[in-house]
Structure 1
């Protein structure tokens, strides 16, 4: 029987699957870095105090992208083309979740509702990222090749999630509570569908690269669909709750550099 640990080990041990995994991850982090950079630049005057934190968020995402590229370089691998159906960020945007890239490319200030939308979208997607990194840290935090990178990224994702909780609660106190809850619910319901579809696509590509038998691929597909069923029935609620985090003001200051990776 296979487990999350054995599956990821199999992906890490094969150059082709490892290259695809790192390429997908690097692409998503780079997109996140660009989005946060543009949001910081277009911040409305009434929320300018948030700009340094959004800038820091983007710098962390850029750092993560460099880390994944560095992990590939250590093996002498070059980035692979990212299949369209595995592009989590782009697929969310197509569902109308978050701020459209067309809007971010304009040199027009964003509105307060845009910033609420950005933070609510981030609250949902950072929950997913933090959950994934907790799982990877549990199984691979001491792995000689990827362990340190995983722990660095996991720490940052926890900070990003704490920042989203803190800022959304602050904005709720300023009168944005209803908009926050509406956007959180819309984002969560769309995200679980996109995550299911991306997971299925990634597993399909990994299965072909690793030559998984049909029975193994079918079992993994069933597991992904079962997880989606759980999230659809109520698991999504963990993505929309708000509570004051233990880590206060976690994005105060510049991003830390990781020269050993990037």
Structure 2
């Protein structure tokens, strides 16, 4: 029987599949770390800048964690196929702040900050949900379980921070722009998540030598999720803003807990 648990355990049990999975995850986290670090340098809001820097430091830590999981298995990161690069595919669609913009030494405008936070609000929703799923799958595993618990706690904090900061900006009169940006970002994200998921499954299927019927069934599941999110109202969870219980979630210094 196909299930998320059986699928992820199959990936974990195969060195080459696990190597690709962790490499894809690590690259995305490293990219997020660079982007947030650069944004923290360019933002003029001195209360917001340290929170963005903390976000970036967390993402870099996650990249190190995925690489450490590989190292513990005697594996090295492998090149990430272009069709699985979620972060860069979103950027090529004009979602979030372009790297060409971040490389210029020009302060970010308030509109830039809203674009950044809306992008983070949507992508952190996805990240938080994925890590919650991985926690259920690997909770009892001594190494992977600890890794995903650490990352999951951070992703929950990142999502809370995005809610709180966007609500602050909405109260300042930017509600319409925030909603429009969230709608545009969520539509692009769910399409990109579908395409990247299909690409990842194709690469894993080749490594694990899945029969055609299994690959087709998994692909149908991805298309089903996309249909629900795009046409069945599933994307609405990415549009709402609710004040989180853990206020000021990124208000402290980054947690540099070792995973060596």
TM-score tier by shorter-chain length is over 0.9
1:226 counterpart residue number = 224
**Runs of 5+ unmatched residues, structure 1:** none
Do 2:32 and 2:59's aligned partners in 1 also have CA atoms closer than 8 Å? yes
Q: How does 1:152-231 map to 2 (within 5 A)?
A: 152-231=150-229
Q: How does 1:130-169 map to 2 (within 5 A)?
A: 130-169=128-167
1:12 counterpart residue number = 12
SS in 1 for 2:48: helix
1:126 counterpart residue number = 124
State the alpha-carbon separation in 1 of the partners of residues 117 and 182 from structure 2: 9
1:258 counterpart residue number = 257
- How far 1:144 sits from its partner (Å)? 2.2
Q: How does 1:14-33 map to 2 (within 5 A)?
A: 14-33=14-33
1:238 counterpart residue number = 237
State the alpha-carbon separation in 1 of the partners of residues 257 and 47 from structure 2: 27
- Count of residue pairs the alignment pairs up: 259
Q: List per-residue Cα deviations over 1:7-41 (Å, max 9, x = no partner).
A: 00000000000000000000000000000000000
SS in 2 for 1:159: helix
State the alpha-carbon separation in 2 of the partners of residues 246 and 87 from structure 1: 33
- How far 1:145 sits from its partner (Å)? 2.8
2:43 counterpart residue number = 43
Q: List per-residue Cα deviations over 1:92-117 (Å, max 9, x = no partner).
A: 00111000000001111111100011
- How far 1:257 sits from its partner (Å)? 1.3
State the alpha-carbon separation in 2 of the partners of residues 4 and 149 from structure 1: 18
Q: List per-residue Cα deviations over 1:83-138 (Å, max 9, x = no partner).
A: 00000000000111000000001111111100011001000000000010111111
Q: List per-residue Cα deviations over 1:166-202 (Å, max 9, x = no partner).
A: 0000010011111100000000000000000000000
The structure 1 segments of at least 4 consecutive aligned residues displaced by more than 3 Å after TM superposition are: none
1:80 counterpart residue number = 78
- How far 1:240 sits from its partner (Å)? 0.8
The CA RMSD over aligned residues, in Å, is 0.7
**Runs of 5+ unmatched residues, structure 2:** none
- How far 1:6 sits from its partner (Å)? 0.2
